[in-house]
Structure 1
């Protein structure tokens, strides 16, 4: 396992002489250069990490088929790194979101484009371009990432952002290892905050009333991106985070205006927020549990009498009924997050990729700066299994787990 931070050196190449620079490395046994015509032989089968039954451990398999017939907008990505998420171990342990055997998990990755469908934007996604993605289409195994190759709709894929240095070099803002851990958390955060405010509409100065938002679980992967999106949209006066106080400086660096220690009694948390926001809190996003969502719902009940909105990513507040959730005449509207909207609504998904790409390019959005990289020193998938075990046993706080393939 390696630990890296986002401020470590990045790789550079000279824009004026890209054709003479070795771009990718090796595919199988031969090395490809930019001045070569991109003729890549895609194998019929690939290695992957499969779930054969709920009872048995994950096992490496070398005979998974590789999708060669791509749809109009699809690209084939050779995975370099995969992000690790709690759903990857929970779905097997608690038996959900697995619909047949053998099954391949994995919802995010980074890698190299090696094949394009006929309508793919070739300028945006040339062969060898470095990309990252979030696969929200759980039932389609070709989009899973715990395997060597992943197929996904190019309109929902990010390029690694770059910037030009004064000396004429073009530099990646971050490497593939950091990119691998962005997708799922960013899409979840975007789905949550777009439930609260319309990100497509810019703030009109002096016309829009600034409002307050409270986020419980700010040091989680999702929470870290919610904070950044909340700041970037400029629609909130106060961004109050309930989290471990040890991450206070980092959370404020990302955009939090106030950080409240989550280890205090609930009554004390309510008092602190009431002091910080005597006018009340308009919106809440809970990333942790139904218990914390319950406390957050009580926070929203205080203050002004305007309709409030609570978005729950993990569980609904205790005592919540379907009637309360959907009755728009109630003071508190409670909603859940549907991250499948990302791929089911291509218009929204492609807009979100474009929107966040601009935020990355302008440094308004950054990957989680602390990273744990799990490498496979033996059989395929060893790093994934080790990382998932640590994620289940210890969890991650203000850091991201990824594995190299």
Structure 2
């Protein structure tokens, strides 16, 4: 965030002196457009998953959240740029300035439509992913608009070169994603060695065809099966601890069209590619008490965590495995066996189908005075996470010791909640109006 903020503040150095000789309102509009291009160039780079990206910007799950909000911020900046008149007197336009102005309009409305499609999460994933690739085209059109439109500085001036640098970063990143990356060897080669169906979950074990991939317990990777209809790349948590032979295991819940098709069609012998690993969701060092909370398929990183405990280097661990009914406990026997072997792991199944519920009060009561020293790891629905996180912090847990992943790679901005709220308010107003009409006249 600091790096992005600094990148946005640098143009102020060149814009401020121009206030004395140019219309301030129009200059401000030009400044907003420059900021939009800078952060869109950065955003195109964030989408590449380039090596070292997590070192600079944090774990990939957070990068995807940052990516979404940068895109929304860019659209706000472009919208304001379009509303606030950027025309200035005394500027000389080149032969392409009129064309660049029209191209800019196309770029703006194309980006607005595609960004809106990205935050409206009811659009099917495969359609969204296909349309999302078009954003880079409209970004290129926006860069063309910047290069050739009338502006109070030349594209070869320091300010022009600075903004152009980010435009170039974005265009190169886009070309890499859509043209070069698909042609390059993708990830590590694997072959499906085992398939198991566990209730509504499919467990796939992969054996490397070469050296394989190193990972840490709790990380995730992108899986591509080299089979018609299953070649779309998707992220899944690695549900087993690292092994010397680099065999990987994914435990995939049936949550959508792709995962249901995978359940029906995946078979032993299929070739696969695995890209990664990603994520900073990992066990801490030291012997402080730990709380693991896995809800449904959210138990998968804790399967890997539990296997890692076979080397006794941690303090006491309580694993709360939250399920809706007894049929949703596919790994309980495996976890119980590990708990018996390592001695410092306690498994607690919280079955809401039997009226059980995990609350901050229950966790606090189980830990007592140890809560302030504990590390809490959570993987599950965001609403549940927010409730437990807020409650535990109020009861003495340090905020920095609540660890979680934002594992939804595609998230909205609350439009569904807003629509539900407006609907409820409308129904409430309608009922009040109806009740007043039905009241007898005095």
TM more than 0.5: no
Point out which structure has higher relative CO (alpha carbons under 8 A, 6+ apart).
1
Higher helix share: 2
Q: TM-score, normalised by structure 1?
A: 0.32
Q: TM-score, normalised by structure 2?
A: 0.29
Whose radius of gyration is greater, 1 or 2?
Answer: 2
